[in-house]
Amino acid sequence: MSKRRSSEISDERDDRLPQAPSPWRSGAAPASLALVVALVAGVGGCRTEGKTPPLFTAAEETTSPASEQGETPKAADAEPIPEAHRDLWFAKGPGREAILARERHDYERAAELLDKVIADPNASADERGGALWLRGLEDVRAGDYAKAAERFAEARKAPGLAALDGRLRLLQGQALLDSGQPSEALGVLEGGPLTGAITGDGLIANADARQRTGDRLGAAELYEKYLRDHAKASRRHEARAKLARMLAEGESPEELGRALALYEQLILEVPLSTFGEEAAAAIPPLQAKIGGPRSLSKEIEATRQRALARLQELLSRGRYKTLIAEAGDFLRARKLPPEDRCEALFLRASAIFKQRKRTEARPKFDQAAAECKRAGLVDKEVKARYQAGRGRYAAGEYSRAAKEFERLAVDHPKHSYADDAYVLAGESWAEAGNRAAERAAYEKAAALGGDMAAEARRRLVVGAFVDKRYADALELVDAGLQRGESDPIELAKLHYYRGRALDQLGRKDEAEAAWVEALRPAPLSYPAILALSRLRDAGDASLAKGVAVLEGAAADGSIPSAGALALPDQPAAKRAKALAALGLGEEARDELDEASIKGWPAAAVLAQAGLYSESQRLLGALGRGWRKAPPVGDTRKLWELAHPLAFEEVIREGEGTHQVPNLLTYAIMQTESRFDPGATSWAGARGLIQMMPATAKDVAKKAGISKLDPAQLYEPAFNLDLGMRYLGGLVGRFGGSDEVVPLAIPSYNAGPGAVDRWLKKQGDRDFDLFIESIPFDETRKYTQSVMERWMIYRWIYADGVTPAERLPYIPLTIPATQG
C-alpha cells in the first residue's frame, strides 16, 4: 500500500474500526468483572485489525438528499429480526430472541427474555445454563456482581457447558472479587486450570485475588508471569499498573525500584491513558521514597522522553490543539538537540495539517524539513517536504507544488516516497492545466517501479483514453499484460481496457474476446461489471459468452470446495462452536486463534451463528485467489458465506420502502462496517451503514424525529432505516434508476456536492473513465468495491430474473441526472 492514502492529497487514514463506546471497556485502572467480561465474554463489541478495506463515509457534507418524511425509523425495541438459518444455542423462543436482542444492544429486553427461559420449568438443563450465563452478563452490566456470581455458578451445572467450565469459573471468580469476596474468588479460581485462550485473564484474576487476600508475593509472581508470557497482550498495561501500585506500597529498594521502572514504562507507552496519568502522579513521591530524584542529567533525559512520547500519543489520538500548544512549550522551554526539534516540529505541523489547515501547515513543514536535514534524519526530512508540497497544492499553487514534488523525487530517488512525489507532481500539473508535464510525471513514477508504479500506469491509461490516444492506450495495456500482473482485479482491468482500446480502433471481434477474457481472473468483480456491460452493448450473443464464464466451473483445482468449511475434530473447535451459538463471538474467535484454527472453518462457525463481523475479519485474510471460481455448485457456499444476508428482514422491507435498488444496502453495509453494529470510524461515523451523527440528524429530522441520540446509531434496525433513507435519497437525486448507482455510491462516501463538482468538471467523459478519474483515491476505490459487492449479491441472491437482470450495468454515457 502506498504511503499516500488519497489523491485529493488529504489526510492519511487509519483503516481500523474503533468500537462503539461500551460500559464494559471504560474506567481507570480496570480491575473489575466489567473489564473481564469485555475481554473474556465479548459483550462490548469485537476487536479490530487493519487488514481490511478502508471504511469511508461522507464526513464533510451533512446535508442529506430528499427523503421520505413522517415515517419514524425503527427503534431498538422493534420485533426481533427472524433469521431461521442461524445455528444458535436456542432453537426458538425467548432464548433465541434474547441473543438477537443483545446484538441489537437492547439489553433490557434481553434480560426480560432470559428471565423467561430461566423460569420455564420445561427448559432443558442446557437451555437454562445458557440463559444463566447470558443473564449473568447482564447482571454485570447492571453492577450486581454478587447475583452474577450466583448465576455463573449455577450455569456451570449444565452438561452442555462442561467444556466451557474454565470460562464460567473465571467469570464467577471475577464476580466474587468485584462483590468484595476475594477469599471465595480465590477458591473458585484455583478450582481447576484456567488454560488455553483464557490463560492470561486467569493469571490477572488470580493475582488480583491474591493481592486482596494479602498474598503480595504470590500476586507479584503472577503479574510478572503475565508480563513475561503475554508481553503484547491487550491487558499488559493494566497488569503493569497493578504490579507497580502494589510494589510502591512496599519498603524494599528492589520493590520500589521495580515499581519506578514499571511506571516509567507506562508513561512512555501510554502517556495519555489513565495508567499513564497514574504513573505521572506516582513517580515524584516514589522517587522521594527511594531517596530523592535522580541526577539532573538523567531527570532531563527522562522528562524529554516523556514529553516526546506524549506528543506522539496526542497526535495518534487526534488531540491536535493540545499537541500544538504542548509542542510549542517543548520547543521553547528546552535546549534541544536537532533530532528532538525535528520530531517536535514535524508533529506540530502534522497536527495543523490534520485540522485541515493545510496551507497554514506548509511553512511549519518547511521548518521541520530544515531541522530534520540539520539532524541528518533523511526519512523525516523527506516526509516533511512531501507534506509541505501537499500544503502548497492545497493553497492552489499547483505549478510550484509540482516542481517541489519533482525536486523531492530527484533529491531522494531511492526513498520510498519518490514515486509518490512524482504522482502528486502529475496531479499538480493536471490542476495547472499542463497535460504534457502531467504525463511526464506519471511516466517517471512508473519508471521507478515502486509501489505507486501501477497507480501511475493506471493514470497514464486513463489519460490516453481521455486524449483519444487509443493506440497509446493499447500499448500501455499490452505492456502491463507482458509484465505479468498478479493481482486478479488489476489483470481483469487490463483486459477490459485492452478491449476498450481495440473497440475504439475498430477491432470489434478482438475487443469482445478481451472483454470475455477480463472475466476469467475475477468473474464477480468491478472490472467484470464493466466487461459485461460492454458485452451487453454488443448484443445478446456477446453477453451470453460472458454469462457462460460466470456460470461455468473454474478449471483450477486449487479452489476450495464446500468441504473446506468443516471444523477439525478438537476440543477448541467444539468450544468455539458452543460460544458462537451463545452469541459470544469474540471469545469464540479467541478459542479458534488459540488452537490455530483459521480460514474457512473458523469463518464458517462464526457466520453460522450470525457473528458476521467476526467471520468477515477472518475471510479478509484469505485473499482473493478463491474468487476466480464462480459461485457454481459447492463453491456457491463459499460465496454465500463471504456475502451473508445479515439483517435480511429489515433490509428487504426498507429497500422497498425507501426506493433503494435491490440488495445495494448489503454492498454498502459490508464495505462500511463488515456487518458490525458497533463499528465507529476514525471520523465518528457509526453503526452498520456508518452514518455520521450530523447526517443522521438531518435524515431523522426529515423523518419527523426532532431529537436524535447518537447512541441510537449503534442500534441495527434504526441505523439501517436511516441509512436506507439516505441512500435511497441519493439514488433518487440522480434519477432513481439502477444505472445511476455509480453516482450515488461516491456521493455516500464523499458527499453529493463533491460528485456534482466532478460531473461539472469531467462529466463529458465516458462513465468508466469518469469513475477512474474520481480525484479521491479513497472514494474511487470505495465506489468500485461497493459496485463489486453489489454485483455479487445480485448474482447470488436475485432469483427469478434473467442473467442480464441480475447484473449491474454501467453504460458508456453517464445518465442524465437531476443533481
Give 353-400 pLDDT, tens digit per residue.
999 999 999 999 999 999 999 999 999 999 999 999 999 999 999 999
- The pLDDT, as a whole number, for residue 773 is 96
pLDDT in tens, 552-608: 876 555 567 667 788 888 899 999 999 999 999 888 989 999 899 989 999 999 988
pLDDT in tens, 728-740: 999 999 999 999 9
Instruction: Measure the CA–CA gap between 337 and 300, rounded to whole angstroms.
Output: 13
- The pLDDT, as a whole number, for residue 639 is 94
Instruction: Measure the CA–CA gap between 127 and 125, rounded to whole angstroms.
Output: 6
Instruction: Measure the CA–CA gap between 767 and 814, rounded to whole angstroms.
Output: 5
Contact 522, 492 (CB under 8 A): yes
For 23-80+106-294, CATH gives 1.25.40.10
CA-CA-CA-CA torsion for 84, 87, 91, 93, nearest 10 degrees? -60
pLDDT of residue 2 exceeding 50? no
- The pLDDT, as a whole number, for residue 554 is 63
pLDDT of residue 17 exceeding 60? no
Q: CA 134 → CA 69, 93, 127, 573, 574, distances in Å?
A: 39, 15, 11, 21, 19
- The pLDDT, as a whole number, for residue 816 is 86
pLDDT of residue 247 exceeding 50? yes
CA-CA-CA-CA torsion for 721, 722, 728, 731, nearest 10 degrees? -140
Contact 450, 442 (CB under 8 A): no
Q: Residue 107, exposed/middle/buried by CB under 10 A (0-12, 13-18, 19+)?
A: middle
- The pLDDT, as a whole number, for residue 295 is 56
- Please indicate whether residue 634 or residue 46 has the higher confidence score (pLDDT): 634
pLDDT of residue 81 exceeding 50? no
- The pLDDT, as a whole number, for residue 557 is 58
Residue count (the chain): 819
**Cα of 545 vs its chain's centroid, Å:** 37
- The pLDDT, as a whole number, for residue 51 is 30
Domain ranges for the chain: 23-80+106-294, 317-395, 403-467, 562-642, 648-806
Contact 3, 420 (CB under 8 A): yes
Q: CA 216 → CA 86, 93, 182, 211, 458, distances in Å?
A: 48, 49, 14, 5, 64
- The answer to whether domain 648-806 has CATH 1.20.1080.10 is no
Nearest Cα to 441, choosing from 469, 407, 467, 468?
Answer: 407
Instruction: Quote the mean pLDDT of the chain.
Output: 87
Q: What is the DSSP letter of 795?
A: H
- The pLDDT, as a whole number, for residue 621 is 87
pLDDT of residue 681 exceeding 90? no
Residue 435: count other Cβ atoms within 10 Å of its Cβ.
Answer: 13
Instruction: Measure the CA–CA gap between 272 and 262, rounded to whole angstroms.
Output: 16
Averaged pLDDT, 627-645: 91
pLDDT of residue 25 exceeding 70? no
pLDDT of residue 181 exceeding 70? yes
**Cα of 87 vs its chain's centroid, Å:** 26
Contact 404, 389 (CB under 8 A): yes
